[in-house]
Amino acid sequence: MQPKWEQLAGRLQAQIEDGTYPPGTSLPPMDELVEAGEGARATVHQAYRALETAGYVVMIRKRGTVVRDRTQIAVPLSRYGQVLGPGGSHGPWETAAREQGLDGSMIATGAETAEAPAEVATALGLVPGSLAVRRSRSALLGDDVVQVQHAWYPPDIAEAAGLTTPGKIVGGVYGALAAAGFMPDEFDEVVTARLPSKGEAAQLSIGTVIPVLLVERVTRDGNGRVLELLQIIGSADRLKLVYDNLSLRGTAS
């Protein structure tokens, strides 16, 4: 027979899934469920912790146990090519969100020039110990952080494209690179997955059993020069990476 906390967690999970408790609403206060006969406070607390670990809710100070929005966004590869023209106001993330009726935004969280770690210098084609520009940003759906991004650039490219200041790049970085004469032409991308650290789970408001996607992308121009190394940590249950319109010419059968 299931423990009482597990039975309660199962009932609440079913109510979350059927919309009784939609995203953004709070589950009943623990004391209210105790008074309703759902068990001792420890039982209710364990049920809520189980829901948090599984990614159904997040516990927010002064708001209680809030149902987490698990709406998924598809980010097609083709969105990157669509933002290379001048004059755009939305980057790939915001463009993909808008086309799916979602409230997506990209928030810049910092920019600095620092000595590049060895693996970053190698990826950028720089001499070990060289300086590089790192930009950090968060991709949001509504108020939820869905991705944390760290992007590295050779200093001369960053300076020319206006990437050295911490503010938001209107139209996206690819558009800024193209406008500065550094046309992104091709990239390599590696995607892996693992369970999050406690810090990552807190930052992304996910439980510790929800995997994160790790994306590492190296973008080059038509001459093969590396323009950007982008490292992304994202919530796997909120992201769908779509590799659309890829050519099969020149591939082995």
Residue 248 has pLDDT above 80, yes or no: no
Band of pLDDT at residue 97, cut at 50, 70 and 90: very high
Instruction: Give the pLDDT confidence of 9-63 residue by residue, as tens digits.
Output: 999 999 999 999 999 999 999 999 999 999 999 999 999 999 999 999 998 888 8
Cα–Cα distance for residue pair 243/234, rounded to 1 Å: 17
Instruction: Give the pLDDT confidence of 62-87 residue by residue, as tens digits.
Output: 889 999 999 999 988 766 655 455 55
Instruction: Give the pLDDT confidence of 115-136 residue by residue, as tens digits.
Output: 999 999 999 999 999 999 999 9
Beta bridge partners of 248: none
pLDDT of residue 40: 95
How many residues can be counted in the chain? 253
Contact 183, 84 (CB under 8 A): yes
pLDDT of residue 91: 78
Could you report how far apart the first and last alpha carbons of the chain are, in Å? 53
Instruction: Give the pLDDT confidence of 181-232 residue by residue, as tens digits.
Output: 999 999 899 999 999 999 999 899 898 889 999 999 999 999 999 999 999 9
Cα–Cα distance for residue pair 43/46, rounded to 1 Å: 5
DSSP codes of every residue in 66-101: EEPP---EEEETHHHHHT-STT----HHHHHHHHTT
Grouping H, G, I as helix, E, B as strand and the rest as coil, residue 21 is coil
